[in-house]
Chains A and B, each alone.
Chain A
Amino acid sequence: QKEVEQDPGPLSVPEGAIVSLNCTYSNSAFQYFMWYRQYSRKGPELLMYTYSSGNKEDGRFTAQVDKSSKYISLFIRDSQPSDSATYLCAMRPTQGGSEKLVFGKGTKLTVNP
């Protein structure tokens, strides 16, 4: 079993839709959770960062972490064609030190005008 599982999609939605992206994980030591957006042939861009369980909102984006279920989500409201990208979840157990970021495979999202 991989440490982080993410459905690669692809996911196609109409403009204005609410998008839900999800990851599950197996390592209960993970404490820090991130969502990255990656446009084609570019580096990942940090979108959301959360610590432990709970919700965090930033504009049209909401990140949720449910540690009891080992499940994290990213919601995009009023989706726009410019949101079309691959979304990567990532997590790590500690704030720094030698612990690596563990990524999901990424979900490819297309928002159609």
Chain B
Amino acid sequence: ETGVTQSPTHLIKTRGQQVTLRCSSQSGHNTVSWYQQALGQGPQFIFQYYREEENGRGNFPPRFSGLQFPNYSSELNVNALELDDSALYLCASSSGAQAFFGQGTRLTVV
């Protein structure tokens, strides 16, 4: 158990809809990152939040956005969903260089 929890575990959305995924980070970790993992691929970095500010972003369009709250929990929002957004979305909280992942949210866009 990493102490990182994500909700929901599974989600099915229609193309064009919007989705919000949630993450509670491990106690004491003030950095949270989001990754997208397509089937058969390694996780790809979406963005990172440190003390409620975005401080790093990968090669994802602006329709991927996020928030971090004072208790260090976080949300990932995706607007105008596309079929290619179907993937496992992973949240990780960090202590130094080590990152601990939640179980992920599997998003299917139909």
Contact = CB atoms under 8 A, between A and B. Distances in A.
> Which size class do B's interface residues fall under?
20 to 34
A101 B99 contact: yes
Interface in B14-57: 31, 33, 35, 40-45, 48, 50, 55-56
Contacts of A90: 42, 99
A39 to B, nearest CB: 10
Contact of B55 (A32, A49, A98, A102): A98
B48 A100 contact: yes
Contacts of A106: 40-42
B13 interface: no
A6 B101 contact: no
Interface string A83-96: 00000101010111
Nearest to B90: A43
B43 A44 contact: yes
A51 B97 contact: yes
Interface in A60-113: 88, 90, 92, 94-106
Interface residues of A, number: 30
B70 interface: no
A7 interface: no
Interface in B73-99: 88, 90, 92, 94, 96-99
Chain B facing A: main interface SS:
strand
B41 A95 contact: no
Contacts of B58: 100
Contacts of A41: 88, 104, 106
Given A41-B88, A42-B104, A104-B42, 6 more contacts: A46-B98, A49-B97, A88-B42, A100-B56, A101-B43, A101-B99
Interface of A: 4, 6, 8, 32, 34, 36, 41-46, 49, 51, 88, 90, 92, 94-106
11 contacts: A34-B98, A41-B88, A43-B90, A44-B43, A49-B98, A51-B97, A95-B97, A100-B33, A100-B56, A105-B40, A106-B41
